Amino acid sequence: AAVQDLAGRHVVISAGGTREPLDPVRFLGNRSSGKQGYALARTAVARGARVTLLSANAALPDPAGVDVVHVGTAVELREAVIRAATGADVVVMAAAVADFRPETYATGKIKKKDGHEPEPIFLVRNPDILAEISADRSRPGQVVVGFAAETDDVLANGRKKLARKGCDLLVVNEVGERKTFGSEENEAVLLGADGSETPVPYGPKEVLSDTIWDVVARLVSAGDTL
Ligand code: C5P
- Model ipTM? 0.98
What's the 3-state SS for the chain? CCCCCCCCCEEEEEEEECCEEEECCEEECCCCCCHHHHHHHHHHHHCCCEEEEEEECCCCCCCCCCEEEEECCHHHHHHHHHHHHCCCCEEEECCECCCEEECCCCCCCCCCCCCCCCCCCCEEECCCHHHHHHHCCCCCCCEEEEEEEECCCHHHHHHHHHHHHCCCEEEEEECCCCCCCCCCEEEEEEEECCCCEEEEEEEEHHHHHHHHHHHHHHHHHHHCCC
Question: Does the annotation list 199 as a binding residue?
Answer: no
Q: Verify whether ligand 1 is closer than 6 Å to residue 144 (CB atom).
A: no
pLDDT at 180: 56
The per-residue pLDDT for 181 is 64
Question: Which residue, judged by its Cα, is nearest atom 9 of ligand 1?
Answer: 147
Angle at 164 between CA 161 and CA 168, to 5 degrees: 80
Does the Cβ of 128 fall within 6 Å of ligand 1?
yes
Asked if residue 15 has its Cβ within 6 Å of ligand 1, the reply is no
Residue 30 annotated among the catalytic residues of the structure:
yes
How high is the pLDDT of residue 184? 76
Report d(CA 77, CA 55) in Å as an integer.
8
Minimum CA distance residue for ligand 1 atom 4: 148
The answer, yes or no, to whether residue 179 has pLDDT greater than 60, is: no
Interval 68-121: pLDDT, tens: 999 999 999 999 999 999 999 999 999 999 999 999 999 999 999 999 999 999
Q: Does ligand 1 come within 6 angstroms of the Cβ of 146?
A: yes
Task: Report the separation in Å between the CA atom of 161 and the middle of ligand 1, taken as the mean of its atom positions.
Answer: 10
Q: Which pTM does this prediction carry?
A: 0.96
**Atom from ligand 1 closest to the CA of residue 165:** 8
Q: What is the mean pLDDT of the chain?
A: 94
Please tell me whether 130 is known to bind a ligand: yes
| Fold observed for domain 10-103+122-223 | Rossmann fold (3.40.50)
**CA-to-CA separations, 46 to 49, 74, 170, 210, in angstroms, rounded:** 7, 29, 22, 10
List the domain boundaries for the chain.
10-103+122-223
Residue 91 Cβ inside 6 Å of ligand 1? The answer reads no
